[in-house]
Amino acid sequence: MTSVEAAAAREAAEKTGVTIRELREVHEFEDVYRLYDDIWHPDPRNAPVPVELMIAFAHAGGYVAGAYEGDRLVGASVGFRAADRTLHSHVTGAAIGRGIGYALKLHQRAWCLERGLVRVTWTFDPLVRRNARFNLVKLGARPERYLEDFYGVMADAINEGDASDRLLAVWRLTEPPPEAAAGPYTWGVDVDGARPVVGRTDGVVVLVETPYDIETLRREDPEAARAWRLVVREVLGGLMGSGARVTGFTEDGEYVLEKS
C-alpha cells in the first residue's frame, strides 16, 4: 500500500477498534460466510458469496479482507479484478454505525492503488438512503448506470419481495468526484407521506427523492415500497438512460442529476 493511503486506512481502523487484513485460510472464509449470513439471513441457496468462491478470488489475486475486533470478525469485503484496472467489490458487510464499513473501503482503496488499480465498482439499491449517502457523500463514488432487476429474485431477509434494481457505483481512486450541480432544481420525484410523487424532469438539474427507510417500508407497507421501486426506476433510471449524470446526494436524501 502507498504510505499515505495505508496510513489513512490504519487510522480509520484504529478509530473503530478493529484490525483489517487480507484473508487466506479456509476457516477465515467460513467466518465471512457466517457474518454475511447474520447480516442478510439469506436462503441457503442464495448466499451472498460461497466459501469456494472466496477461496478462488483470493487465490487468483482478488480482494478478500476482514475487520477483526480481537478474534471476532465484525466486517468483511470480497471483490475480484475486472477490466480497465478495476476492482469490482462484490459484497461488503459490517456492523452498522461504527465506521467499520468506511475503514474497510479505505483499506480496499489502498490495496487497489498499491496494485495499480484506479477504480472500484460495486452495486447498491438506489432506494437505500443510508447506502446512497455513504457511497456518494462519504466516499465520493458516483452512480454511472441504472441496472433493472440486476440480480433477479433475491431470497434474503432484506431484499425478499422486491425487484433487485441496482445502481452501479464507480469510485475513481485517482480523481476527485464531480461537484454536485447547483440549482435551480426541479423535483423529478418528491414524497407525500410514505409514498412517492412523480414531478417534473424538464429542468437542467433534477432531484429524485428516496424513501426514509425502505427496509422497514417493505415490511410495513409493501404496496408503498413497490411504488417507490417503480417510480425511482422510471425517473432516475430514465434520466440516467437519457444521459443525465448523478453528481451528488443531498442531506434530505435526494439524488442530484445534471443533464448534458
How far is residue 134's CA from residue 154's CA, in Å, rounded to a whole number? Answer: 23
Q: Which range has the worst mean pLDDT, 67-71, 102-106, 114-118, 155-159?
A: 155-159
Helices 26-40 and 51-59: crossing angle, nearest 10°? 130
pTM: 0.93
Mean pLDDT of 116-128: 97
Predicted local distance difference test score (pLDDT) of residue 26: 97
More confident residue, 97 or 49: 49
Q: Which range has the worst mean pLDDT, 1-10, 137-146, 206-215, 218-227?
A: 1-10
And the C-alpha cell for 255? 439524488
Predicted local distance difference test score (pLDDT) of residue 183: 85
Provide DSSP, 176-203. PPPPPPPS-EEEEEEEETTEEEE----S
Does residue 250 have a pLDDT over 60? yes
Predicted local distance difference test score (pLDDT) of residue 155: 61
Nearest 5 degrees, angle CA 57-CA 105-CA 165? 75
Query: How does pLDDT run across 175-220, given as a tens digit for each residue?
Result: 999 888 888 999 999 999 899 999 999 999 999 999 999 999 999 9
Predicted local distance difference test score (pLDDT) of residue 160: 67
Q: Is 138 in a helix, a strand, or coil?
A: helix
Predicted local distance difference test score (pLDDT) of residue 156: 63
And the C-alpha cell for 50? 460461497
Confidence of residue 157 (pLDDT cuts 50, 70, 90): low
Edge-first strand order for the sheet with 166-172 is: 19-22, 63-69, 72-82, 86-94, 119-124, 166-172, 142-147
Task: Please report, for residues 16, 92, 216, 228, 234, the alpha-carbon distance to residue 40 in angstroms, rounded to integers and kept in the order given.
Answer: 22, 11, 14, 22, 27
Does residue 3 have a pLDDT over 80? no
Confidence of residue 242 (pLDDT cuts 50, 70, 90): very high
